[in-house]
């Protein structure tokens, strides 16, 4: 009968406070492959599921530095090396005039890296995801809060995990099929 695999067990909560408390308890109980969903950013939530740092800032820094170097070296090479032209009696390598574009390219590459870095690290775009199989999950973008324990967690068991989640006082519990 069972042809589909269980992706995880999902519990639904009414408020951000309940979700954060539940996520904390789940993490304390030793579950590690968990995730929480909220309709707006909740600062404490990432902490509660044990997600402390992300690499977006690093990606942005690298992108910004690359942009600044590209901008400056591009101008230097084009106007001072490859095709030097004397304009207004200025030297070919008139660095003060190269600053505005160096600045703009730093911002441009930094900004693009921040956005693409965030999307890539988040694995987006991903139009299909097993959590969308739960009909009630449509409320996750409105006013409900969800916690999931993935079936890949070493502590996961269809019965005891379900019992554990029920002990957290959720509004509902659903199995997520993959």
Residues 54-83 that bind another protein (CB under 8 A): 54, 56-57, 60, 64, 74-75, 78-79, 82-83
Q: Considering only the stretches 1-9, 19-27, 149-157, 165-173, report the one whose residues sit in contact with another protein under the rule CB under 8 A.
A: 19-27
Q: Considering only the stretches 2-10, 136-144, 151-159, 164-172, report the one whose residues sit in contact with another protein under the rule CB under 8 A.
A: 136-144
* Residue closer to another protein, measured from CB, 1 or 91: 91
One residue of 1, 125, 154, 159 binding another protein per CB under 8 A: 125
Beta strand 172-177 with 145-150 is unpaired
Nearest CA to 17 out of 44, 35, 37 is that of 44
One residue of 39, 66, 155, 177 binding another protein per CB under 8 A: 39
Residue 134 interacts with another protein (CB under 8 A): yes or no: no
Residue 8 interacts with another protein (CB under 8 A): yes or no: no
* Residue closer to another protein, measured from CB, 2 or 91: 91
Q: What is the 3-state secondary structure (H, E, C) of the chain?
A: CCCCCEEEEEEEECCHHHHHHHHHHHHHCCCCCEEEECCCCCHHHHHHCCCCCCCHHHHHHHHHHHHHHHHHHHHHHHHHHHCCCCCCCCCCCCHHHHHHHHHHHHHHHHHHHHHHHHHHHHCCCCCCCHHHHCHHHHHHHCCCEEEEEECCCCCCCCCHHHHHHHCCCCCEEEEEEC
Q: Which of positions 83-102 make contact with another protein (CB under 8 A)?
A: 83, 85, 87-88, 90, 94, 97-98, 100-101
Q: Considering only the stretches 1-9, 109-117, 154-162, 169-177, report the one whose residues sit in contact with another protein under the rule CB under 8 A.
A: 109-117
Q: How far apart are CA 50 and CA 149, in angstroms?
A: 13
* Smallest separation (angstroms) from another protein to the CB of 166: 19
Residue 158 interacts with another protein (CB under 8 A): yes or no: no
């Amino acid at each position: 009968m069972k042809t589909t695999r269980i992706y995880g067990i999902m519990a639904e909560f009414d408020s951000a406070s309940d979700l954060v408390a539940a996520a904390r308890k789940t993490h304390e109980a030793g579950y590690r492959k968990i995730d929480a969903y909220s309709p707006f950013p909740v600062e404490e939530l990432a902490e509660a599921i044990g997600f402390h740092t992300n690499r977006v800032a690093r990606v942005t820094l690298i992108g910004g530095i690359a942009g600044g170097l590209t901008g400056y070296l591009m101008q230097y090479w084009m106007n001072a090396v490859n095709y030097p032209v004397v304009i207004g009696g200025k030297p070919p390598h008139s660095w003060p005039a190269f600053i505005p574009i160096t600045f703009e390219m730093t911002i441009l590459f930094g900004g693009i890296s921040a956005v693409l870095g965030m999307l890539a690290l988040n694995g987006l775009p991903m139009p299909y995801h097993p959590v969308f199989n739960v009909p009630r999950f449509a409320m996750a973008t409105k006013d409900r809060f969800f916690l999931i324990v993935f079936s890949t967690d070493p502590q996961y068991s269809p019965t005891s995990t379900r019992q554990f989640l029920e002990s957290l006082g959720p509004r509902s519990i659903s199995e997520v099929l993959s």
